[in-house]
Amino acid sequence: MKGCVLRGKLLSLLKNIYPDGIEQTSVVGIYYQLTKVDDILTALEYLTDKKYIIKKENPHPFKNNTIVTYYKISPTGIDLCEGNIEKDPGIVLQIEG
């Protein structure tokens, strides 16, 4: 799957579950059959760097020295999905109709 398409799918997933976020392992579980895990993680970092999603890392509640990573769409990400800001050429969003 092309990176720009994957980034659009990830952003749409996060928009659909807003205001909740999702754990990184769950995102990988949803998309790992479509593409490589490294591609999924790279796409999430891209979206984080562009400020379309928010990444939070918290200590695992039971496992010492383990971090749990969560992602949540940002207001800018919602605006991009809804067409309220200029399109990003690095992200292909599915047209909702």
**Can you give the pTM of this predicted structure?**
0.91
> Could you tell me if 55 and 48 are in contact, meaning their C-beta atoms sit under 8 angstroms apart?
yes
pLDDT of residue 96: 61
pLDDT at position 44 over 80: yes
CB-based burial, 68-82: b 16+ in 10 Å, e otherwise: ebbbbbbeebbebbe
* Sheet (strand 67-73) strand order: 22-23, 67-73, 53-59
DSSP 73: E
pLDDT at position 62 over 90: no
pLDDT of residue 60: 83
pLDDT at position 61 over 70: yes
Task: Tell me how far apart the alpha carbons of residues 20 and 3 are, in angstroms, rounded to a whole number.
Answer: 24
